Amino acid sequence: MDREIVKRIVDEAKGEEANLIVWDKRDTFTVEPKAEVSVDDEYLKIKMEDGKATVYVDYDSIYKLVVEKERSGARTGARTGFGATLS
């Protein structure tokens, strides 16, 4: 996935104080708003659990990022996301 797209999605999640859902080749995980996320040159760096765990995700291994937005009403946790396809 392109670094600039990742940066835009991370900034959106931070701005809305929303969860960021990351799908990569190995796993799917949720990044809470309080986590420290940085978009470095070669990878996405995520410090979780007050710095106790750090995850490095290579941009090429990310195939979907989702900003999890909370909504009022019957359906909660509506998601908007961006995916990447390999050609």
Q: What DSSP assignment string belongs to 21-87?
A: EEEESS-EEEE-TTSEEEE-SSEEEEEETTTTEEEEEEGGGEEEEEEEE--SSS---EEEEEE----
- The predicted-structure confidence for 13-63, as pLDDT tens digits, reads as follows 999 999 999 999 889 989 999 999 999 999 999 998 877 889 999 999 999
User: What kind of fold does domain 3-83 have according to CATH?
Assistant: SH3 type barrels. (2.30.30)
- The predicted-structure confidence for 57-79, as pLDDT tens digits, reads as follows 999 999 999 999 876 544 445 55
Would you kindly state where each structural domain of the chain is located, as residue ranges? 3-83
Give phi and psi for 50, each to the nearest 5: 55, 40
